[in-house]
Amino acid sequence: MSQWDEQDIELFRKDAEQLLLNVQENILKIEKDSSDKEAVNNIFRGMHTIKGASAMFGFNEISEFSHRVENILSHVRDSKISITPELINLLLSARDQIHLMFQETESGVKSDIELREMIIEAFETLLPAANECPAPEAITKKDHIVNYQIHLNVNSEVSPSDHYLVLLVLLNKLSRLGECQLVPYSEGWSIIIATSYDIRVIKEAFDFVQGISLVKIEELKDDFQKEPDDMIPRIGEILSKFHYITQEDVDTALSRQKQINKLIGGMISPSKLNLLMSQQKSESNVKADHSTSSEKLDKLINLVGELVFIQSQITHATDMSNSIELSAPIRQLELLTSELRDCVLSIRMSPFGTIFSQFQRLVRDLSSELCKEIELVTEGADVELYKTDIDRLIKPLIHMIRNSIDHGIESPEERQKANKPAKGTIRLAAANKSANIVITVEDDGAGLDVDAIKAKAIEKGLISPDAKLSEKEIFSQIFVPGFSTSEKVTSVSGRGVGMDVVRQCITELSGTIEISSQKGVKTVFSIQLPLPLAIIDGLLVRTGESDFVIPLDTVVECLELNKYNMTTSDKRNIIIVRDEMIPFVCLKDIFFINSSYTDNESIVIVQIDGTKIGIAVDEIIGDHKAVIKPLGDFFHDTKGIAGATILGNGTMALIIDVLQLIYLAKEEEKKGIV
C-alpha cells in the first residue's frame, strides 16, 4: 500500500462504507421482494466493486472474502440459488464481517477469521450440485486468441474523478484476460482486447461499472491490425478534448508518471493512465480540503449571518434616505447575499433519510430475535439537518426504537387477541414545522400504562402518593435515570438505562422531547429541534412597541381584522375568510403586551400540520431575512419563541415558534385568557 497516502485510504474507506450501506439496503429489499432483480444486481455490483477496489488498495483479506461472497451472488443472480431467509441472514452476516474488516484496517483489532469461514461454508451448502454447473474453464476458455472491440459510453452526470477510477479498475481487470489497447471514439472510449477467454467472461468484468455504460462487444476479424501505440491519442488528450480536464491538469499529472507506473505494473503505457489517477487525486484533495474542519465551516456560516445582518442595515438606511441611486444596487446585493446564504448553508446539510437503512436493519434483527412481526415505515427522507446533528441523533433514536420493539409492539398472538394486525408498525418521521424540525417515533403497540408508571415513580420516591400530575408529567418520569416498569430484564432492554440518555442527547442538541400515548393503541415520542439554519426568511410584524418575526414558510396570507370579519365561538376568537372559520390569537394577549393601537388590526394566517390559525398583530411591516440568535440558557424554556434577531435599525425582534404558539394558545384558552 506504499503508493497510497493516508488521505487516499481514508477516502476509500468512506466510499466503501457507503457501498456497504447500499448493499445492506438492497439485501433488505430482496427480503421483502425476492423478484427484485435490480436489487440483486446492486448487491452483486457493490460486492464486486469492494473486491476490486480493496485489492487495489492492498486490503487483500477483504478482497478475497468479498470475492467468495461475490461468487455466491453470481449464482443468486442466475437464479441457481433461491432467496430464502437463510440466504438473507448469511448475506447480512457477510456484509457485517466486511464492515468489521474495514474497521480492523484502522484499529488493528483482529476480526474473527473462523466466523468468516463458517459463513462461507454455510453459503456453500446452498450451492447447486456439482453436476448442475459446468466447470468454469469449460465455458470460459477458447483454444485460440480472439480480438474483441469493446465500445463504452460516458455518463456526463458522473464526476470526472469517478470516470478515471472506474476506467483504471476496468483496465486492470481486462489486462488479466488478455492484451489491451485503449482508443477513443466520438462519444467515449473503445478497448481492443486480444484474449482466449469467452465473451461472457469479458462481460462480467463490467458488472461493477457505474457511470460508464457498456454499449456492445464485437468480435474482430482475424486479419485485424491494431494501430501502433504512438498513433493512439493519449488519455489526457481525449479527456481534454471532451472538456473533462484542462491542459494544466495534464501537465500536473505527467509529473506522477513514476508512481503510476508502479501501480499499473506495465499493464498499459503509463502516459495513457497517469492522468487518470493524478486527476482523481487532485479532486480527492479538493474534497478533503472542503471537509477537513467543521470549525471553519461554522465560522463561515457565522460570517454569512453577519453579512446578512449588515445587508439588512444598509437596506434599512437606504429606505430611510429614499435614495433612488442606491435602490438598484441594494436590491442586487440582497439577491447575491441570499444566494451566498443558501449555498453556504447547503454545504453542511444532509438529508435525514441517509440513516434510514440503519434502522431498517435494527428493526429486522430485533423483531426476529423477539419473534415479533414489525415493519418500519419512514417519512421525511428529504428533511435536511446538520450532518453532525444527524450523527448525534442515531443513539437516542436507537434507544427509542428498541423500546418500541421490546415494550411497545406486542407479540403476534397478543395483537390478534386485541383485534390488531399480527404485524406491528413503527413509524420514523421527520418534518419541518415552523422554526423547528420535528422527529417522531411512533408505534401501534400496547401504549403506556399511566397507573403503572405512577406507581413505580411513587415506589422510587420520585413523586408523592398524593401528587396530582397530568399524563404528560407522569410520562416524563420515564426519562429519570434507572426508571423502568419492565418486570424482566432482556437482552434488549429492561434495565432502566437508555431513556435518560435519550433526553440528555436531545437537550445537548438544544431540543426537547415529549411523550404521548393511548393505552392499547399507540405511543408517540416527539423530538423538537431548532431549525438547523442560521438564517430564515420571515415576515416582520409589530405589536405595541415590540417587533416579531413569523417564519415565512408558515404564512398563508395577511388580512385586515375588523368587526365585519371577526366573531367569537365558545370563547374562541374567529375570523371568517371566504366562508371559512379560522380561530386566531392576539400576540398582545399571549405575551402580555400593552398596546394603545386603535386602528384596525392586521391578522397573519399561518398553517402548520394542516391546521390554520390567525395571529393578530398591530402592524405588518414586511419581509425580513432573520439571522437567528439563541436566547441563552436562562430563556431556554420560553414558550412560543424560537430565538431573536437584530433588525437593520439596531433593535431586537423575537422569532415566533408557531407550533409552540398554538400549544400556548390552547393552554391560555383553557384559562379563559384568549
Integer Cα distance of 276 and 260 in angstroms = 9
Nearest 10 degrees: Cα torsion 245, 251, 252, 253: 70
The domain total for the chain is 4
Same structural domain for residues 188 and 257?
yes
What does the pLDDT average to over 52-61? 83
| Helices 37-56 + 60-77 axis angle, to 10 | 160
Q: Which residue has the cell 470549525?
A: 295
Integer Cα distance of 310 and 307 in angstroms = 5
Residue 132's pLDDT is 45
- The closest of 247, 249, 252, 504 to 393, measured between CA atoms, is 504
Same structural domain for residues 547 and 511?
no
Same structural domain for residues 365 and 278?
no
Dihedral class, residue 441 (left if φ above 0, else alpha if ψ from -120 to 50, else beta): beta
Query: Domain for residue 293, yes or no?
Result: no
Q: Which of 268, 288, 308 is the last residue of a domain?
A: 288
Residue 190's pLDDT is 79
Question: pLDDT of 341-355, one tens digit each?
Answer: 777 777 778 889 988
Q: Residue 28: which CATH number?
A: 1.20.120.160
Same structural domain for residues 159 and 123?
no
Residue 637's pLDDT is 64
What does the pLDDT average to over 604-611? 84
Same structural domain for residues 519 and 632?
no
What does the pLDDT average to over 619-644? 77
Integer Cα distance of 313 and 330 in angstroms = 11
Q: Are 421 and 501 in contact (CB under 8 A)?
A: no
Query: Domain for residue 646, yes or no?
Result: yes
Q: Which of 530, 559, 584 is the last residue of a domain?
A: 530
Question: pLDDT of 251-309, one tens digit each?
Answer: 544 443 333 333 333 333 344 344 344 434 433 443 344 344 456 766 777 777 778 77
Question: pLDDT of 458-487, one tens digit each?
Answer: 888 888 888 888 888 888 888 887 776 665
Query: Domain for residue 178, yes or no?
Result: yes
SS3 540: strand
Question: pLDDT of 397-447, one tens digit each?
Answer: 999 999 899 889 999 999 999 999 999 999 999 998 766 889 999 999 999
Of the pLDDT bands very low, low, confident and very high (cuts 50, 70, 90), residue 27 is very high
Q: Which residue has the cell 474507506?
A: 13
Q: What percentage of residues in the chain have a pLDDT greater than 90?
A: 18
Residues 6+ apart with CB under 8 A from 128: 75, 80, 81
Same structural domain for residues 514 and 388?
yes
Query: Domain for residue 262, yes or no?
Result: yes
Integer Cα distance of 235 and 182 in angstroms = 8
Q: What percentage of residues in the chain have a pLDDT greater than 70?
A: 74
Query: Domain for residue 226, yes or no?
Result: yes
Q: Residue 512: which CATH number?
A: 3.30.565.10
Bridge partners of residue 611, in order along the sequence? 608
Same structural domain for residues 91 and 166?
no
What does the pLDDT average to over 39-43? 91
Query: Domain for residue 383, yes or no?
Result: yes
Question: pLDDT of 214-233, one tens digit each?
Answer: 667 888 876 665 555 444 44
Dihedral class, residue 147 (left if φ above 0, else alpha if ψ from -120 to 50, else beta): beta
Same structural domain for residues 115 and 165?
no
Residue 229's pLDDT is 47
Question: pLDDT of 552-574, one tens digit each?
Answer: 888 999 998 887 788 887 778 88
Residue 481 Cα distances to 165, 238, 462, 490, 510, angstroms: 51, 65, 11, 18, 20
Q: Residue 630: which CATH number?
A: 2.40.50.180
Residue 135's pLDDT is 43
Same structural domain for residues 170 and 79?
no
Q: Are 581 and 530 in contact (CB under 8 A)?
A: no
- The closest of 14, 16, 46 to 30, measured between CA atoms, is 46
Integer Cα distance of 567 and 563 in angstroms = 8
Query: Domain for residue 567, yes or no?
Result: yes
More confidently predicted of 667 and 148: 148
Same structural domain for residues 123 and 147?
no
Number of helices and strands in the chain (H, E): 22, 22
- The residue range of the domain holding 46 is 6-131
Residue 485's pLDDT is 64
Over 70: is that where the pLDDT of 636 sits? no
Residue 400's pLDDT is 92
Over 80: is that where the pLDDT of 501 sits? yes
Q: Which of 108, 131, 154 is the last residue of a domain?
A: 131
Question: pLDDT of 84-139, one tens digit each?
Answer: 888 998 899 899 899 989 888 777 667 778 788 888 888 887 877 544 444 444 44
Query: Domain for residue 205, yes or no?
Result: yes
Q: Cα 182–154–210 angle (5° rounding)? A: 100
Same structural domain for residues 198 and 278?
yes
Same structural domain for residues 197 and 71?
no
Q: What is the mean pLDDT of the chain?
A: 77
- SS3 annotation, 223-276: CCCCCCHHHCCCHHHHHHHCCCCCHHHHHHHHCCHHHHHHHHCCCCCHHHHHHH
Over 70: is that where the pLDDT of 14 sits? yes
Instruction: Count how many Cα atoms sit within 13 Å of the Cα of residue 580 in the half-sphere of its side chain.
Output: 9
